[in-house]
Amino acid sequence: MFCPKCGGLLVPKKENGKTVLVCSCGYKKKAEGSDVTLKEAGKKSKPVEIVEKEEKVNVIVDAKCPKCGYGKAEYWEVQTRAADEPPTRFFKCLKCGHTWREYG
């Protein structure tokens, strides 16, 4: 039930052994019936899925790793500076996992 004065939620409260519905604005109303309870309903959430192995979604290109010298790396671009400047290219070595970047 909602408060007719302010529209807030009326909450059951015991006063002098009787249940009354009260609002935060001070409005009170005698509860009809002896069993007045406040219930909240919620949806059950789905269980969290655990990923066993990381899937590679980036493009694999020929790029020499500056750390180990391997010739293959994952590649992606991110706009790290102003929109009128070229994006930054990131690489991750497939052998040692070293990540480096090149500016356009």
pLDDT in tens, 1-49: 788 888 888 888 888 888 888 888 988 888 776 556 666 777 888 888 8
Q: What pLDDT sits at residue 26?
A: 87
Active site includes 85? yes
Strand partners, 76: 90
**For the chain, what is the domain count?**
2
Whether 66 has a pLDDT exceeding 90, the answer reads yes
pLDDT, position 20: 85
Residue 51 included in any domain: no
Question: What pLDDT score was predicted for residue 65?
Answer: 95
pLDDT in tens, 53-65: 767 688 999 999 9
Q: Tell me if 52 is assigned to some domain.
A: no
pLDDT single digits (tens) 71-98: 999 999 999 888 898 999 999 999 999 9
Q: Which of 15, 74, 84, 102 is catalytic?
A: 84
Which residue in this structure is represented by tokens 């509860």?
Answer: 31
Q: What is the pLDDT of residue 10?
A: 85
Predicted local distance difference test score (pLDDT) of residue 53: 77
- Residue 30, domain member (yes or no): yes
Other residues' Cβ atoms within 10 Å of the Cβ of residue 96: 12
Q: Structural domain of residue 10, as residue ranges? A: 1-35
Residue 44 lies in a domain: no
Tell whether 42 is covered by a domain: no
Length of the chain, in residues: 104
Do 31 and 65 belong to one domain? no
CATH of the domain at 96: 2.20.25.10
Contact criterion met (CB below 8 Å) for 91 and 75: yes
Domain-embedded: residue 2? yes
Is 35 labeled as catalytic in the residue annotation? no
Q: Are residues 64 and 99 in the same domain?
A: yes
The whole-angstrom separation of Cα 44 and Cα 104 is 48
